[in-house]
Chains A and B, each alone.
Chain A
Amino acid sequence: MGVRVMKMSLDHACVIRDSWSLTASGTFDTGVHLVSGGTGSGKSTLALMMAGLFPLSGGCMVKEETNSCMLSLQFPELQVTGRTLEEECASWGAPADKILEATGLTGRRNTSPLSLSRGELKRLHLACVFSRDYDLLLLDEPFSSLDCEEKSKTCTTIEQKPGITVIFTHEQEILPRVFRIWEIAEGRLTDCGRPPDAYERWHHVPPAVKRLAALGSPPGNISMRDIREAACRIHG
């Protein structure tokens, strides 16, 4: 039995809305991909496109060996369907006991998901999303509203996911190790390449990475581990 090679390719896939448009070309292989870009640049639109939820105005998308897909929306409240936390976990096919314990929400099993703070809701939402593995996992702003500890834990979970994981984010501090970096600017998706070579082409390079690169010690990747290692090379 051969090894499955999952892949998603975009060939001038585009959406046009009034005077705004987004065109994307490139291949997303197995591993973690980071898509960055300014506010309103089209990150969420690209996530919806890749999930097949936004009709293309032109071009095409081809999936190979990529059967299951999950999109986690930027605003977790938009994906709530359960009246209680228990029902919400069940709606994702996730074990409520395990999810609620992991998110520190055990005592609130019968409360409404919409009564949670945004950070708590995001934590619950991500735990449900991460409870299964998908061939293509699209995470729109997974770090927004999470506290710093939770961002770190989320990075660890993302790094362990099989398949193709695409993160659409403007987070600049706590990030996972990634396979490839992409950027959206002026209506076009650009492949910046793999870290550390990508830093020269990447406009949204995080401040710590940028400063370390300027000091001649670019981190091998963009995670906190890599940043600490690069800083140690300078400071000892």
Chain B
Amino acid sequence: MIAIDALRCRNLVIDSLAIGPGITSVIGPNGSGKTTFLRTCAGIELPHHGTVSIDGAAPRATETGWVNEFPDRNILFARVYDEIASPLRFRRDIACDAIDAGVKACAESMHITHLLNREVRELSGGEKVLVSLAAALVHHPKVLLLDEYDSHLDALLAEKVDQVIRASGARYVIRCTQQMNTAMKSDHLLFFDSGRVTHAGTPREVFPFLKNTAFYPVLWECGL
């Protein structure tokens, strides 16, 4: 369980929240605190007050994978292979052939083997997201945090990536998305507004509160 207690961080105010294992989608208006929430759960940002506990441990004591909403800001290396290998190389206790096998297996699962020798700067926006996601998954994190990763992916690819994420073994996946068709397919859904979680539950529980807003899934609105 991810337990959040009396959290205050920038504009974020969460008195109490519990998130179970599985895929949690975070939705809400731009600037409502979604990214700050993800950064806090990743341990990238420390709260001014309160705690985030992941199965009893602090985020910084937990293996996490992170995909930035600005993929360029997270990419360190020029070549795709080196970028995906970097989380394993930084550990300094994994043999080169094991790193090589890990990178190739991860790239294959993401269908990006053909990109391994490409320069990152030559990639399309969606391809950069895939590389960032591969680098986040290659070390098998317990918590995977994805900040609007799907805003640069086409629907078919987003579906494939969704399957990869589900098969990744990450106990917790928390993802910000502006695609309500994606949010519908989550185990848990959080709706943020002005730095607060105003609705939490399953998609079937949360979306009825968002009827008559642009956040209500068009497929449900039209009875499809």
**Chain A residues at the B interface, C-beta cutoff of 8 Å:** 17, 36-40, 43-44, 74-75, 77, 104, 116-120, 122-123, 141, 143-152, 170, 172-174, 204, 207-208, 211-212, 224, 227-228, 230-231, 234-235
Contact = CB atoms under 8 A, between A and B. Distances in A.
Interface in B107-161: 122-127, 130, 148, 151-157
Centre residue among B30, B124, B221 by max chain A CB count within 10 A? B30
A145 B178 contact: yes
A172 B181 contact: yes
List of 9 A-B pairs having minimum Cβ-Cβ separation, nearest first: A119-B30, A39-B126, A231-B222, A148-B214, A170-B154, A144-B151, A118-B69, A40-B124, A211-B224
Interface string B157-170: 10000000000000
B71 to A, nearest CB: 9
B56 interface: no
B202 interface: no
Given A147-B30, A149-B213, A152-B214, A228 B155 contact: no
A75 B125 contact: yes
Contacts of B156: 38, 204
Interface in B184-215: 213-215
Contacts of B180: 148, 173
Contacts of B30: 117, 119-120, 122-123, 145-147, 150
B152 A117 contact: no
B155 A172 contact: yes
A124 B92 CA distance: 43
30 contacts: A38-B156, A39-B127, A40-B127, A77-B70, A77-B72, A118-B69, A120-B30, A120-B31, A123-B30, A141-B125, A144-B125, A144-B148, A145-B30, A145-B178, A147-B214, A148-B178, A148-B214, A170-B153, A170-B154, A172-B179, A173-B179, A174-B214, A204-B156, A207-B181, A207-B219, A211-B219, A211-B224, A224-B218, A227-B222, A231-B222
Given A119-B30, A172-B181, A74 B152 contact: yes
B20 interface: no
Contacts of A144: 125, 148, 151-152
Contacts of A43: 124
A233 B46 CA distance: 52
Contacts of B130: 39
A228 B124 contact: no
Contacts of B215: 147-149
A63 to B, nearest CB: 26
A236 B127 CA distance: 43
Nearest to A140: B125
Contacts of B178: 119, 145-148, 151
A120 B32 CA distance: 10
A145 B151 contact: yes
Given A117-B31, A207-B181, A75 B224 contact: no
A212 B223 CA distance: 10
B29 interface: yes
Given A227-B218, A228-B222, A147 B153 contact: no
A44 B219 CA distance: 29
Nearest to B130: A39
B174 to A, nearest CB: 17
Contacts of A170: 126, 152-155
B224 A212 contact: yes
Contacts of B148: 118-119, 144-145
